[in-house]
């Protein structure tokens, strides 16, 4: 680990703009060597609205290392964050060293809680409102340019025209949650969302906790192919049945979706964890994450907390990831057995492990299979060709309508909006 004195000296010399200070969310108590110099720097800026020259810093604090002034500020902040985290972890163990000998279970519980606090301090940034009017105007101009370049859509295109027509898709920092009973189609919905993003050129990470990569890939083949003008049967692809081989080869060559990453396990882990997903995001820098089956994701302290605490940590943890990495994250989860009637929309309180996911989400969408009386389609043959969705939460304003229906013939890759009174379907 880099020398504390060098890193802290470099920070104090390089924190010489308001932009740099906004990136740095630490106090003087987080410094191991030069906390007094950092506090003096903040006081000087508050009093003069200017930043002190290097010579003045060296005169007042000769222990600072001027050679560190040439180091990149982003690198300095990154290393400093690791140093603070390391010291916090060491302190968590040292504080409970004696208790470990007297009552190990109680000590481990306290250490675990302190480590949670350390990670929150490491990962969660708070941004002040006062970013400056000029900077906010530039951000608005950037959003307007994005809309102009994407046919009036800001963000990532969604499966729902009601959102796309409002000019707002999946936005950076948003958490979007789908929930329904098993067999309703949550995984297919995740595949459709990923396929739309991939077709739009959006780098997408699709994580499945329930299905292997091969099975997810076949579903993507059918759905993405449909959007590209091909017509394949999922059943025939899965079972080795008859398909147009030349068309399938052509589709695979054309799709060549290098901007789609699929994960069904994380190396070195017995299950997919929140921390593992964060590592994948850091490694691959996706613009969208789609997580199928969030209820099967583990957390670092899963065995040490009550179920409601686990779900709270998991759901708000995934929301923090969307904010920290500034990307939209779409997740699916199950409704409880209380929502056994698949023809009814599950209520927010019927989400598996509590409604913390709905509270954490920016957009919450329930799914159901419609009743035969509603659709006029026989359910006895299993040929259910419609799904209904309902926006049960939409944080960013009002929607014209909150419920719509989808054509649903997943064997052909058809997941599309339609008018429920359209007699041609």
pLDDT in tens, 380-415: 344 458 999 999 999 877 888 889 999 999 999 999
Residue by residue, DSSP assigns 182-204 as: TTS-HHHHHHHHHHHHHHTT--E
Q: Mind listing the domains of the chain with CATH numbers?
A: 4-123 (1.10.860), 147-417 (3.40.50.300)
- The pLDDT value recorded for residue 125 is 42
pLDDT in tens, 164-177: 988 889 999 999 99
- The pLDDT value recorded for residue 147 is 57
Closest CA to 95 of 79, 75, 80, 115: 115
Three-state DSSP state, 11: helix
- The pLDDT value recorded for residue 379 is 42
pLDDT in tens, 77-123: 888 888 888 888 888 888 888 888 888 888 887 887 777 666 655 55
Whether the Cβ atoms of residue 319 and residue 175 lie closer than 8 Å to each other: yes
């Amino acid at each position: 680990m880099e020398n504390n004195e060098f890193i802290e000296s470099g920070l104090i010399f390089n924190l010489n703009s308001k932009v740099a200070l906004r990136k740095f969310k630490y106090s003087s108590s987080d410094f191991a060597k030069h906390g007094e110099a950092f506090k003096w720097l903040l006081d000087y800026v508050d009093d003069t609205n200017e930043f002190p020259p290097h010579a003045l810093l060296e005169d007042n604090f000769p222990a600072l290392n001027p050679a560190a002034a040439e180091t990149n500020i982003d690198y300095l902040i990154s290393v400093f964050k690791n140093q603070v985290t390391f010291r916090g972890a060491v302190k968590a163990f040292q504080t409970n060293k004696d208790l470990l000998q007297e009552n190990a279970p109680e000590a481990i519980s306290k250490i675990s809680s302190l480590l949670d606090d350390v990670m929150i301090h490491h990962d969660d940034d708070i941004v002040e409102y006062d970013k400056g009017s000029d900077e906010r105007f530039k951000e608005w101009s950037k959003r307007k340019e994005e809309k102009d370049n994407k046919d009036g859509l800001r963000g990532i295109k969604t499966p729902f025209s009601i959102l796309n027509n409002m000019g707002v898709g999946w936005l950076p920092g948003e958490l979007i949650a789908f929930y329904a009973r098993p067999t309703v189609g949550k995984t297919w919905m995740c595949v459709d969302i990923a396929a739309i993003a991939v077709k739009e050129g959006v780098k997408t990470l699709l994580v499945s906790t329930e299905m292997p990569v091969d099975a997810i890939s076949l579903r993507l083949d059918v759905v993405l192919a449909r959007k590209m003008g091909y017509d394949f049967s999922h059943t025939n692809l899965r079972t080795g049945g008859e398909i147009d081989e030349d068309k399938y080869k052509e589709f695979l060559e054309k799709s060549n979706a290098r901007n789609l990453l699929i994960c069904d396990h994380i190396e070195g882990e017995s299950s997919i964890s929140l921390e593992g997903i964060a590592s994948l995001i850091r490694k691959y820098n996706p613009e969208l994450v789609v997580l199928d089956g969030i209820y099967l994701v583990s957390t670092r302290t899963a065995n040490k907390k009550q179920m409601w605490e686990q779900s709270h940590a998991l759901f708000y943890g995934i929301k923090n990831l969307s904010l920290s990495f500034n990307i939209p994250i779409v997740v699916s989860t199950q409704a409880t057995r209380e929502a056994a009637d698949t023809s009814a929309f599950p209520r927010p309180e019927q989400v598996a492990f509590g409604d913390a996911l709905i509270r954490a989400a920016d957009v919450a969408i329930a799914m159901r299979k419609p009743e035969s009386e509603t659709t006029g389609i026989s359910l006895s043959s299993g040929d259910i060709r419609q799904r209904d969705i309902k926006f049960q939460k939409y944080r960013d304003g009002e929607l014209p309508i909150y419920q719509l229906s989808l054509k649903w013939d997943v064997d052909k890759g058809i997941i599309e909006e339609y008018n429920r009174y359209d007699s041609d379907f």
